[in-house]
Chains A and B, each alone.
Chain A
Amino acid sequence: MVTTGLSVVEAARETLAARERGATVVVALVLDGPCAGARRLRIRERSGEGGPRNHSVGALGHPHLEGLVDGLLHDALDGEPLSARSSEAGTRTVVLPGTTTEVPVYLERTRPPSGLLIVGAGHIAEPLHLQGALLGFRVTVADDRPDFADPARFPRAHRVVRIDFTDPFDQIERADRSHVILVTRGHRYDYECLRRLVVEDPLPEYIGMIGSRRRVRATFHQLLEEGVPRAALERIRAPVGLDLGAETPGEIAVAVAAEWVAIARGGSGRPMVEVERVAERFFPDEADDARK
């Protein structure tokens, strides 16, 4: 059979271009049976763009199989986990109509980058923006001080913006601030940001604020006095980060980023050695001996 569909390189090119314009892509690769090795992909454009919202690329040349693959692609675009262990990739099986032929189809989803806005371009923002970029965020750094809001200090940022705290988000698109972390130099700046963020609809997926217990308490107190409901405050993660005993900016950035991963992946944040307890579970006698 002549190979149909897209090549792996064509699929990669389409995926990168679509991601760049904020679209979600699912690639299907037929692993066996008719059309083995063929790729077809489906793109969901970001809402608000002109033209059709969903479209497919790469004809499989087998109408029945193509229909079944389109069904898989359609469901995968809706965001369901694609396998038990990996939310963004996995293999499904379809059965060709009127036969018992099972065709395995590998699916892989690529979503547009989530936007991470770092408010406050001080010494923590530098390693923090690197961590954000490493995790695949499209990072924006914002500060009102021109010396700090300097792109040269943030080589991995998508954008570095000079803002005015009287209206801190007016120049930053919603998609670029689905995740917001406040690392400003003072509690009144945190307050100015939070009082706007907690009333947004929809709320950002993540709102985090660094700070001491005292600073967090002072900010929350002020928001409550202004009439912000308690439920809204509960959406703010503050202070941020896992308890690593971090002290330096680099260490703090690791602690904050580690918590981002734990939130996204549903991790507990506990040490693996305690989660797995390999020695205790598999060598009980030795562990008992060691305790004696």
Chain B
Amino acid sequence: MRESDEHLNVLRTLVEGAERGEPMVVATIVRTRGSTPRKEGARMVVGADGRVRAGTVGGGCGEGEVLEAAARTLSDGQSRTVRVDLTEDLLTLSPAVCGGIMEIRVERA
């Protein structure tokens, strides 16, 4: 129960990607405040083609920013922390009306 299929799927995807020699990026929610779609520990693996291979850090809410950071990390190899603020969009028509802040660590795998 405590270990979801998703968490294991992410770990397996990372190991299998390394065995194939594919450069990938993993994004992990390391801190949250307020109402965010996912909590600490949620992760997403992005493949060399920029597409999501496993997991999610929240779907529409902030995932676009994370994918942009993942593309930068894929090309420069540098880890970075992305702060996704979902509070400022509350009164706009943006789909990201989740209402919290999350810090996401983006690393090359």
Residues of A in contact with B (beta carbons under 8 Å apart): 7-9, 12-13, 15-16, 19, 29, 31, 36-37, 82-83, 85-91, 104, 106, 108, 110-114, 133-137, 179, 260-261, 264
Contacts and interface: CB of A to CB of B under 8 A. Distances in A.
Contact of B1 (A90, A91, A108, A114): A114
A135 B41 contact: no
Contact of A15 (B2, B11, B103, B109): B11
B1 A31 contact: no
B60 to A, nearest CB: 18
7 contacts: A8-B26, A8-B107, A12-B10, A104-B30, A108-B41, A136-B5, A179-B1
A91 B31 contact: yes
Contacts of B41: 86, 88-90, 108
Contacts, number: 95
A19 B3 contact: yes
Given A12-B11, A31-B81, A85-B39, A113 B105 contact: no
Nearest to B34: A85
Given A8-B26, A89-B39, A135 B4 contact: yes
Interface in B1-50: 1-5, 7-8, 10-12, 14-15, 17-18, 26, 28-32, 39-41
B87 interface: no
B109 A86 contact: no
Nearest to A13: B15
Contact of B2 (A31, A90, A114): A114
Contacts of B26: 8
Contacts of A179: 1
Contact of A29 (B10, B12, B18, B105): B105
B40 A136 contact: no
A261 B81 contact: no
Contact of B4 (A7, A87, A136): A136
A30 to B, nearest CB: 11
Given A31-B81, A89-B30, A104-B31, 7 more contacts: A29-B28, A37-B79, A88-B41, A90-B41, A91-B40, A108-B41, A136-B7
